[in-house]
Amino acid sequence: MAKKIVVVGMGYVGVPVAAAFAKAGFEVVGINRSKPKVDQINRGISPIGGLEPGLSSLLRKMVRAGRLRATQSFTECRDAYAIIVAVQTPFDKLKEKPDYSSLKSAMHKIGSNLSKGTTVVVESTVAPGTVEKIVKPILESRSGLRAGKDFYLGTCPERVRPGRLLKNLIELDRVVGGYGEVSKKRIINLYRNVVKGNLYGTDCLTAEIVKTVENAYRDVQIAFANEVALICERLGADVYEVRELVNKAPYRDMHMPGAGVGGHCLPKDSLLLSYSVKGKFEPKLIKIARKVNDFMPLHLTHLVEAALSDLGIQVKGSRIAILGLAYVKNSDDTRNTPAAPVIKKLESLGAEIRVHDPYVNQFDKMEISKDIMEVLRGADCLVTVTNHDAYKKIDLRKIKKCMRTPIIVDGRNVFQKSACLKAGFHYRGIGNP
């Protein structure tokens, strides 16, 4: 009889985790609060859009083999060998604290259906200290069981990346934080069934810190690249050439400047890290980095205003084509997408906005075209916000003929500036004036 694993939260993290453990021979039950999503999965259809190599076919195969099914019921936890929690843990910027409503709700329901010997693993990203201070007390009070003795508890923070969900899950090294040695060993042995990368064991707090720090690190690195881009714009230099040459120096890894930092990881994880020391220490660098990155979408709109003004056109009444709604290339994920503030600002200035994205099908009741030429027809400005591979194939001469004014504002270094100028476009780009 195959051991049963319950995965709570069938999103970008839970779906590949469920499929991978099913492939490893476990009986997997995915719990989700959305009935349509439960039904979709039970029809063998992945709810994850965008280019996710291998995921849809694996999920379909596992559902058809009877090794993976979905439900809304937490009673499935009662005879689970392990329960993996992958619910959303957004950061509430207004209240300046994590929104743990989904996490707490899941833990109450799991606790009410927790049996002796079960291992509970939190994959969701949480502020350091959360497993010990929030998760453990709920599970223990609801179940009457003790963590580390009657049931096992820990965290194995996800390292997913839209576009590489299955690949990252299988190949990347992972950190395992255990509530005690036995929990740590059990979780490491559990993940050895799907993770080919190294599994590094530690305590819960350290694992939570590692997860938030690895993303805060990236956020700071991107902010540095964005600041260099702003400097290069004023100096009249090409930041991408600067970056390429800087990275020829040993131990340098200057990241890519761009239209901003979106996603469910980076914008939030540095806030979770700062939150964990609230009242004890005030981080400066990671907070400033957030401000720099959040400024970039606004800066992109400044470049649009400037580019139109260069040709005597006001934003008010102009037609602007936004290419890319997803926060990252070749994905349908729009969480915290920089495109949202770009569109909002340009609309507030009176521009008529048309949006294209090859993968995103719905966003804020917005009409999203799948036809680049349709979006560019009669436009005064083409703005790239996401560097989907599809945009690299754009024929500049062809689009110039259908636009009302040939202006390109490049937020992701999609186009070669020289090629745009040669094709007769007026060009401005982030870090490449």
- Which active-site residues does the annotation give? 211, 265
Query: CB–CB of 5/27 below 8 Å?
Result: yes
Burial class (CB in 10 A: 0-12, 13-18, 19+), 112: middle
Q: Measured between alpha carbons, how far is 166 from 215 in angstroms, rounded to an integer?
A: 20
Residue from 4, 109, 159, 356 touching ligand SAJ (CB under 6 A): that is 159
Using the rule CB under 6 A, which residue among 266, 322, 368, 383 binds ligand SAJ?
A: 266
Binding mask 273-312 for ligand SAJ (x = CB under 6 A): ----------------------------------------
The answer to the question of residue 263 lying near ligand SAJ (CB under 6 A) is: yes
Quick check: 161 binds ligand SAJ (CB under 6 A)?
A: yes
Asked if 218 touches ligand SAJ (CB under 6 A), the answer is yes
Question: DSSP secondary structure string, 46-104?
Answer: -S--S--TTHHHHHHHHHHTTSEEEES-GGGGGG-SEEEE-----EETTTTEE--HHHH
Q: Which are the contacts of 341, defined by CB distance < 8 A and separation ≥ 6?
A: 260, 297, 298
The site for ligand SAJ, by CB under 6 A, has a size of 19
Helix ranges (DSSP H) in 311-384 = 339-348, 372-376
Q: Confirm or reject binding of residue 256 to ligand SAJ (CB under 6 A).
A: yes
Rank residues 147 and 414 by Cβ distance to ligand SAJ and give the closer one.
414
121 vs 84: CA distance, rounded Å: 5
In degrees and rounded to multiples of 5, residue 17 shows phi and psi of -65, -45
Sign of the Cα pseudo-torsion (364, 382, 333, 47, in order): positive
- Give yes or no for residue 255 binding ligand SAJ (CB under 6 A): yes
C-alpha dihedral (417, 423, 427, 431), degrees to nearest 10: -10
**Among 214, 227, 294, 352, interactor with ligand SAJ by CB under 6 A:** 214
- Beta-carbon contacts of 292 under 8 Å, excluding residues fewer than 6 positions away, are 223, 226, 227
The residues, ordered by sequence, that sit 6+ positions from 223 with a Cβ below 8 Å of its Cβ are 261, 288, 289, 290, 292, 293
Selected binder of ligand SAJ within 63, 126, 265, 403 (CB under 6 A): 265
Nearest in space to 318 (alpha carbons), one of 336, 334, 305, 337: 305
Smallest gap from residue 394 Cβ to ligand SAJ (A):
19
Q: How far is the CB of 68 from ligand SAJ (least distance, A)?
A: 22
Is residue 86 within the footprint of ligand SAJ (CB under 6 A)?
Answer: no
User: Using CB under 6 A, which of the segments 90-98, 186-194, 263-271, 300-308 binds ligand SAJ?
Assistant: 263-271
Q: Which residue is nearest to ligand SAJ (CB)?
A: 263
Check residue 160 for interaction with ligand SAJ (CB under 6 A): yes
Stretch of 105-113, 235-243, 253-261, 340-348 contacting ligand SAJ, by CB under 6 A: 253-261
Q: What's the closest the beta carbon of residue 299 comes to ligand SAJ, in angstroms?
A: 12
Based on CB atoms, which residue is closest to ligand SAJ, 143 or 336? 336
H-helix or E-strand containing 351?
none
Beta carbon of residue 378, minimum distance to ligand SAJ (angstroms, whole number): 29
Q: How far apart are CA 329 and CA 388, in angstroms?
A: 4
Question: Which one of residues 80, 328, 376, 396 is an interface residue with ligand SAJ (CB under 6 A)?
Answer: 328
Q: Which stretch binds ligand SAJ (CB under 6 A): 52-60, 147-155, 160-168, 345-353?
A: 160-168
In the structure encoding, which two tokens stand for residue 76, read together? Answer: 């499935």
Q: Is 215 in the site for ligand SAJ (CB under 6 A)?
A: yes
- Hunting for tokens 């804020």 — which residue is that? 364
Which residue stretch of 128-136, 144-152, 199-207, 258-266 sits at the interface with ligand SAJ (rule: CB under 6 A)? 258-266
Site of interaction with ligand SAJ (CB under 6 A): 158-162, 214-215, 218, 222, 255-256, 258, 261-263, 265-266, 327-328
